[in-house]
A and B are shown apart, each in its own frame.
Chain A
Amino acid sequence: MKYIDEFRDGTLARKLAADIAREADPARRYSFMEFCGGHTHAISRYGVEDLLPQNVRMIHGPGCPVCVLPVGRIQAAIWLARQPGVVLCTYGDMLRVPAEKGLSLLKAKAEGADVRMVYSSADALKIAQSHPDKEVVFFAIGFETTTPPTAVVLQQAKILGLENFSVFCNHVLTPAAIQNILESPEVRKLGTLPLDGFIGPAHVSTIIGSRPYEYFAEEYQKPVVIAGFEPLDVMQAIRMLVRQVNQGRAEVENEFTRAVSRDGNLKAQALVADVFELRKTFEWRGLGDVPYSGLRIKDSYAPWDAERKFTVPGFSIPDHKACECGAILRGVKHPRDCAVFGTVCTPENPIGSCMVSSEGACAAHYTYGRYRDTNR
């Protein structure tokens, strides 16, 4: 496959692995966090960890859009789906995320709610157009990558005067989450989470550019290397991070130059700015309330804001008490440190959200890497 296989080449991977092993100082440890679930998935799926020297370790970050959504928001989506005449559309992974009392959108669907999986926000808009007798709600989730498509359908709904369409907005922002991790006591005061640098998001950065990370590199003295989602991208980024650490640099470097520029996609940014504004605060699973980390729909699009249209109640539901998703999302714990991992909590019966999405740290480790635990 052109332009894909080149980034999965085994020979190049072994060469890069040898470079990393040669350049990494055996006298020290390197701990890098890959923020994105896409990177977590690639690392597990291609067995990247097997190619790294013992003293270079990857910590999984919170960048899985399904995982970070708190139970309360899922419960709200279920509440919406159960309103008479409502068709709730969302991305596939959301259907299986457990909410209160083992309920999920999939179970609500089995009980009669009209819940539909869509591949894009445009599909939800189409459903609204072809079902004028139904109230179609798009349960929008995701980081900066999925926000512009949601903005587009909101603009289109407004232009079309489509009254039976609305969006339940749960879009969140990457830089706010990175800052939250850097400010966390585990990193700042306790030092229990050693963090020598970040692999910066791939797709998110195509939208926001590399500029937003410059602050972290400067303020917190942590190197950031923006990398694509292919395994060679990840390996190359790790080598660049090792070099920065060795040379005492803390800069933003861009490995993913084939898609990411410093300014990002200005058109997409303008779209988002037209439709959305910052929420004062938004709850994240694992990170708690993070200031200015989520988006809401502007007043000028209020008729298409499901939260206002249906006066969605706020649900505050704590995570399952045995579930370590919170600590795993902060990078403080590894999936295998969780008592329910692989026993009560499996991809078939997930207790926490990290076990649901293929981008979740637990699901990735369970699906691709758990054989390693048997050798420990």
Chain B
Amino acid sequence: MSEIRKNYIRPVDFKHGRVDMTHGSGGRAMAQLIDELFMSAFDNEFLRQQNDQACFRVPTGRMVMATDSHVVSPLFFPGGDIGCLSVHGTVNDVAMSGAQPLYLSAGFILEEGFPLADLKRIVESMARAAMEAGVPIVTGDTKVVEQGKGDGVFINTTGVGVVPEGVDISGNRARPGDVILVSGHLGDHGVAIMAQREDLAFDLPIRSDTAALHGLVAAMVEAVPGIHCLRDPTRGGLATTLNELAQQSRAGMVIREGAIPVREEVKAACEFLGLDPLYVANEGKLVAICPAEEADRLLATMRAHPLGRDAAVIGEVTEDAHHFVQMETAFGGKRIVDWLTGEQLPRIC
């Protein structure tokens, strides 16, 4: 007589297994994946409620909410992966209002055939990032699409947070005379990603700067509650962020090329690829704009934090009906730092 073990379920094969359509079908395979992977990695009291929603109490005050979808390619890159990036990205979007991020949600779109070992690596990296940030992932969702209809894995994260009393940070608050600061070296993330893309056989010691900035923001807001604007210069880089802020605040800006911190390696890679570091993405940097009289204190606070060690004052907000962002070049001339058109392309000749 054969002996069948009661309720035996073969564990998910995280070594050689691959995502298949059953992992998104709502059946036993999906429940098992959620249980063995997501629940065990993200474990917290809210997930343990095992409901379709997370229920939590919030402090009183102004709440903020931000969402961000992550489709980065390659999924793993020097200094990080799509997992930690998806946590940092949303934590930072929430934090740029001056808020303390509280909770995150995570939605996964997996492509059929994606190795479970890679998925596990990504989820564990997310869990680590969330734990380090002190912002739990309290609810989630998983969908599977047929092969060829995704790019391995897409992750959407949404975050909520609460703004401390007396803080009013918004992209439309830059005023002529305000000072513009950045929290460190620009272009690391974009160049690290670009160097990994297969068509560019590049070997560079540059790592992505992906990091959660809410700790830095909390210190900044405490020292200078009157900060006018905060934004993380992700896609499109510093140039795009400054143009957005100039447009929103209906002001102009003048920055000094010589004051903008860019690593030598990043400069060299950009030179080689025909890119401008001002347009290259960052994932662990922020731009701050504050009244001139508070700039010194803000700079000192930023520099005292590990994620703001290389912070610098890079320019001023000006009155300008055209909302131009202008730059005094290190060469001694002037030029516009314009919105990016299409994608940055290397020179032909």
Which residues of B sit under 8 angstroms from A93, Cβ to Cβ? Answer: 345, 348
Looking at the complex, which of B122-130, B220-228, B309-317, B334-342 is the stretch in contact with chain A?
B334-342
Which residues of B sit under 8 angstroms from A357, Cβ to Cβ? Answer: 348
Which residues of B sit under 8 angstroms from A92, Cβ to Cβ? Answer: 343, 345-346
The answer to whether the Cβ of A303 comes within 8 Å of any Cβ in the partner chain is no
State the CA gap A342–B335 with chains docked (Å): 16
Which of A93, A348, A368: most chain B Cβ within 10 A? A368
Which residues of A sit under 8 angstroms from B346, Cβ to Cβ? Answer: 92, 119
Measured CB to CB, the residues of A under 8 A from B are 1, 4, 8-10, 13-14, 17, 36-38, 41, 44-51, 63-66, 91-93, 96, 117, 119, 123, 141-143, 145-146, 203-204, 231, 347-348, 357-359, 363, 366-371, 374
Which residues of B sit under 8 angstroms from A358, Cβ to Cβ? Answer: 345, 347
B123 nearest CB across to chain A (Å): 33
B: number of interface residues (CB 8 Å): 27
Which residues of B sit under 8 angstroms from A141, Cβ to Cβ? Answer: 348
Annotate B31-58 by CB proximity to A: 1 below 8 A, 0 otherwise: 0000000000000000000000000000
> Secondary structure at chain A's binding surface: helix, strand, loop or mixed?
helix
Contact of B349 among A45, A359, A368 (CB under 8 A): A359
Which residues of B sit under 8 angstroms from A47, Cβ to Cβ? Answer: 329, 331-335
> Secondary structure at chain B's binding surface: helix, strand, loop or mixed?
loop
The answer to whether the Cβ of B264 comes within 8 Å of any Cβ in the partner chain is yes
- Tally of A-B residue pairs with Cβ under 8 A? 100
User: A47-B335, A369-B336 in contact; A1/B271 too (CB < 8 A)?
Assistant: yes
Of all chain A residues, the one with the shortest Cβ separation from B321 is A374
Which residues of B sit under 8 angstroms from A65, Cβ to Cβ? Answer: 348-349
- 10 A-B pairs besides A64-B349, A91-B348, A369-B336 with CB distance below 8 A are A10-B331, A13-B332, A47-B334, A117-B345, A143-B349, A146-B349, A367-B341, A368-B335, A369-B335, A371-B334
Which residues of A sit under 8 angstroms from B343, Cβ to Cβ? Answer: 92
The answer to whether the Cβ of B199 comes within 8 Å of any Cβ in the partner chain is yes
The answer to whether the Cβ of B235 comes within 8 Å of any Cβ in the partner chain is no
B262 nearest CB across to chain A (Å): 10
State the CA gap A178–B181 with chains docked (Å): 47
Annotate B5-30 by CB proximity to A: 1 below 8 A, 0 otherwise: 00000000000000000000000000
State the CA gap A66–B347 with chains docked (Å): 10
The answer to whether the Cβ of B324 comes within 8 Å of any Cβ in the partner chain is yes
B264 nearest CB across to chain A (Å): 6
Which residues of A sit under 8 angstroms from B322, Cβ to Cβ? Answer: 371, 374
Which residues of B sit under 8 angstroms from A4, Cβ to Cβ? Answer: 267-268, 271
State the CA gap A123–B198 with chains docked (Å): 11
State the CA gap A36–B349 with chains docked (Å): 9
Which of A14, A17, A50, A203: most chain B Cβ within 10 A? A50
B191 nearest CB across to chain A (Å): 14
Contact of B331 among A66, A117, A231, A367 (CB under 8 A): A231
Of all chain B residues, the one with the shortest Cβ separation from A232 is B331
Contact yes or no, B258 A37, CB < 8 A: no
State the CA gap A37–B349 with chains docked (Å): 8
The answer to whether the Cβ of B4 comes within 8 Å of any Cβ in the partner chain is no
Closest 5 CB pairs of A and B: A47-B333, A347-B341, A92-B345, A50-B333, A368-B335
Which residues of A sit under 8 angstroms from B342, Cβ to Cβ? Answer: 96, 347-348
Contact yes or no, B333 A48, CB < 8 A: yes
State the CA gap A366–B341 with chains docked (Å): 11
The answer to whether the Cβ of B330 comes within 8 Å of any Cβ in the partner chain is yes
User: A367-B338, A371-B326 in contact; A204/B333 too (CB < 8 A)?
Assistant: no
B49 nearest CB across to chain A (Å): 46
B330 nearest CB across to chain A (Å): 5
Contact yes or no, A366 B349, CB < 8 A: no
User: A13-B331, A46-B331, A231-B331 in contact; A1/B348 too (CB < 8 A)?
Assistant: no
Which residues of A sit under 8 angstroms from B338, Cβ to Cβ? Answer: 366-368
The answer to whether the Cβ of B200 comes within 8 Å of any Cβ in the partner chain is yes
Contact of B324 among A17, A45, A63, A371 (CB under 8 A): A371
